[in-house]
Amino acid sequence: MRVSRWTLGVAAMVVTASLAAAQAGRGQSQRVQIKPGEECPPGMTEVRPQSCAAPEKPAPSIVDYRPRSTVVAAEHLVPKAKFPVIDIHNHTDIGAGNIEQMIRDMDELNLRVLVNLTAAGRGGAAHLKENVAFLRSSPHRDRFRVFAWVTWDGAGTAEWRDREVKSLRQQIADGAIGLKIAKNLGLSAKKADGSRLKVDDPDLDPIWQVCADAKIPVIIHTADPQQFFVPVDMHNERWLELNLFSNRNFPQDRYPSFETVTGERDRMYKRNPKTTYIGAHFNWYGNDFGKVAKQLDETPNLVLEVGAVLYEFGRQPRAARELFTKYQDRVLFGKDAYEKSEYPYYWRVFETKDEYFDYYRDYHAFWKLYGMDLPDEILKKLYYKNALRIAPGLPQTGWPR
């Protein structure tokens, strides 16, 4: 019996479809085709070009997925920094009950000086004075320094200006070696008339002038990571953090944009060239080294510190090394929160060539870190030399050359 080509073709299609179905039943998920540039539907991922599939088993949540790497990489843990360190950005309570333990911890880390930015934050100028008096009376007086604060109540009025200028001068006389500006400036702080207090408001110029006259730096924390100002969806790198700490999100119907606030800050830097500014957290530009380089080139009165953004350098170590080399006189060490166990991650990124190791908080960075292997002279500048130059009130003797 003769069989037509059409019949053979249909039979081949049926056999192919049957085989595909059988294969799908043996571990091949059903596929959905997409167009170039399209994303896969929710719950699916691209397994072949423009072909999406869903896992056969229920997918674990973002907090439950903890793959164990099989990479065997060299480990060079660094419990103690290679050179003595000044932490220019820290927040901690220092008192009779914990100072001796802190000194033991600092010695183990090679943390020579810790700068407490919140000495005046909870109780104002009077609290700062008490804090300085306690530190100066201790046998560890050269291990700690403090920064001043200002308040924004009544900002924009002559009374506010006179009060805060007087308070700042008194805090400097009492021992403050710099001024700390918190992120509420530009985000939530209000003027006396109820309007938002902008970072570049001319009413703040007398504050910056006091710091210039006293030759003390201003460390300023403006905004927060850029991801905190955009929708908290599955494209947001900080989704987990923003769902663990919802107060860190700044929705655009209630707050100014990241670009608005950082733009105000950057203009303020340039308008006050005689004041030295320390951009806290690398100005939150650590995800864009080109922007960092441009800003440093255009703003000679600005230096940056690395507190709480180690994950940015560790995920692009070669570019970070180039940046730290070119601008080796413009970067200071800072940590932000005081936690002894976290400092060695900084030493490891800065000092080693290690590859593919974890960051200490997965909600900050779900990616791995890589060492920058900075040369000794750059490490010295990062760890203490630049800080000694920028903040003359730091202990100036006893440092390696």
| Tally of CB atoms within 10 A around 293 | 15
CA dihedral 125, 129, 134, 139 (to 10 degrees): 120
Of the listed ranges 57-66, 123-132, 232-241, 301-310, the least confidently predicted one is 123-132
Mean pLDDT computed over every residue of the chain: 93
Residue 108 token pair: 């183990």
Q: What is the pLDDT of residue 120?
A: 74
Span 75-104, average pLDDT: 97
Enumerate residues 6+ apart whose C-beta is below 8 A from 296: 302, 304, 327, 330
In this prediction, residue 27 has a pLDDT band, given cuts at 50, 70 and 90, of: low
In this prediction, residue 180 has a pLDDT band, given cuts at 50, 70 and 90, of: very high
Query: Is pLDDT above 60 for 23?
Result: no
CB 191 within 8 A of CB 156: yes
Q: Find the length of the chain.
A: 401
Assessment of whether the complete model's pTM goes beyond 0.75: yes
Span 79-106, average pLDDT: 97
Cα-based distances in Å from 313 to 77, 290, 324, 346: 18, 13, 10, 10
Strand partners, 218: 179, 277
Q: What is the pLDDT of residue 122?
A: 62
In this prediction, residue 21 has a pLDDT band, given cuts at 50, 70 and 90, of: very low
**Domain ranges for the chain:** 28-59, 85-390
User: Beta strands of 14-73 (E only): which ranges?
Assistant: 31-33, 45-48, 51-53
Task: Tell me how many degrees the CA angle 162-121-292 measures, rounded to the nearest 5.
Answer: 90
CATH ID of 85-390, from 3.40.50.2000, 3.20.20.140, 1.10.10.10, 3.30.499.10: 3.20.20.140
Reduced to 3 states (helix: H, G, I; strand: E, B; else coil), residue 204 is helix
Query: Is pLDDT above 90 for 6?
Result: no
